[in-house]
Structure 1
Amino acid sequence: MESLLQTLDLTDTGARTEEDIFTGPSQKMPHGRVYGGQVLAQALTASMRTVDEERSVHSMHGYFLRAGDSELPITFAVDRIHDGRSFSTRRTQAYQKGVPILSLIASFQDEDPGLEHQEDMPRGLPAPEDLPSAAEVLGDLDHPVARTWANDRPFDMRHIPSPIYLSVDGEHTDRQALWIRSTSPLPDSPLLHQAALAYASDYSILEPVLRRHGIPWATPGARIASLDHAMWWHRRARVDQWLLYVQDSPSASGGRGLSRGAFYTREGSLVASVAQEGMIRIPALR
């Protein structure tokens, strides 16, 4: 969690031309590529730095353009597209070696009363305390990726019905859920919790596509990468308290898979919705 907080503590370069320029570090990854949730959260944080603190993000849409190098820092250029009476819009480009690796647009809003309804949270699911953590599932494996997933992630994730790290047990279905929360408490900043939720939202969102076809993460030669990512925040919540992340995949075709997700508090409040399409290439199918 300390590493995540350092990653989100962007440096303002002071440049004020047509864009606001920030820089941030990359978290070390065993495969050498920047984790997509990291650059999403950083780009969102850069956008937040240019908006009145009273306005919170309600939606973002991002495209992953290139794989990032986890050994290099990232530069973020924020374009202040629009500031209206209730909404602000920002476009943020993330760069490494002078070329963009992510393009993101985010919208911010003053909180305003209005209509209220939500889809209900699924009931009858196991509690997080009754499920194994990634450290318990992967802790005995002597592999750099397994060690990172077991011990170095800033979030504890507990799958329902079971994780698909090494195998897909049980029914090959296009639905799953998991409980998730940060491994230690976070400061009280609501904007920080929103950015951290964006970070966590990328971890497992493509798993319903894989689970539907019985494909674990450890499949030899599998190439899986996020293509785009959309997220909508509905209500405030803390990521250092357990959230239920419900996920499904309505379609896979053309070497791509689409997944949707929804975050709920333990009390059943719908916090955020997510959608992502990813590239999924399996050697046996080519």
Structure 2
Amino acid sequence: MRRKLVVTLTTVHGSRQYTLNQLAKYLVAAFLLMAALSFFVSNLLLVKTTDELLDLEDTHQQLADQYELMLGTQQLYRTELESLGDALSQLSVERDQLVQQNHVMGTELGDLESMLGILESDSETTAKERAEVAKAAARERLFMLYGVPNGVPIQSERITDRFGMRMHPIQKKRIMHSGIDFKVSIGTPVYATADGVVEFAGYNKGSGYGYMVRIDHNLGFRTVYAHLQKVLVKPKAFVHKGQQIGLSGNSGNSTGPHLHYEVRQLYTALDPEPFMKWGLDNFDSIFTDVEEIPWESLSAMYPLNQTAPQ
């Protein structure tokens, strides 16, 4: 006769006997139940964690996209502004030592003030106060010279037509010429004259401009580059000053290879010539040469307002 291990449990309600086989069944059942509960709980936690990770990845991607968009406009500086940027950086680093180094820094401040066209300060003005004025003036010039059209958009042999009334070469009647025409060979690089966003890029049949690029800049300014052979930017793209945006051509209503260049402000065509001559060495000239724009209203804007909080 085979021996069996019998376990007897005695309570107030009586006694009950269990063989080892019965106990094993209960233990296995309990184990399976616990395993199933553990599996479902773990699965729920895994699903929740996965959702949270996906949300974090989406948030990270959105932040990365926003960061990339913000990088578009101030990456490259033109040669005419490099000396100003270097001088301003040096001034910021050593500004706290101005009191102890009045003689040395006084010379550097004088050079920077001359570059910026700042009038000489009276004898009671401290070096620190002069540095703050120079910093504000540098901020104003950087803001304006990067955000408002200036300089030429192309290396050209000569200008063939200027802004104003003229005899149209195709229509054979006097009409307003809203820009400047540069005589160039087909395929000459065309550059943006200020930071901005591409509002249109492609073939514009209705205007007669053929392949063209239209860029929106700061303060309501807009530039147009027409009769191109090839467009190198896309609509809604951020472009920086000096970036190549196309190649000159002879597309649209044109009698020969050239670049038609316009400067507009709130849809009003302006003579591009004062903007083409405008730069660091004659910064204040634009405010008197272009009378169509109420420049005086800019004085309240940051960073043009020198008294704005730092």
Bucket of the pairwise TM-score, normalised by the shorter protein: under 0.3
The structure that has the greater radius of gyration is 2
State TM-score, norm by structure 1: 0.24
State TM-score, norm by structure 2: 0.23
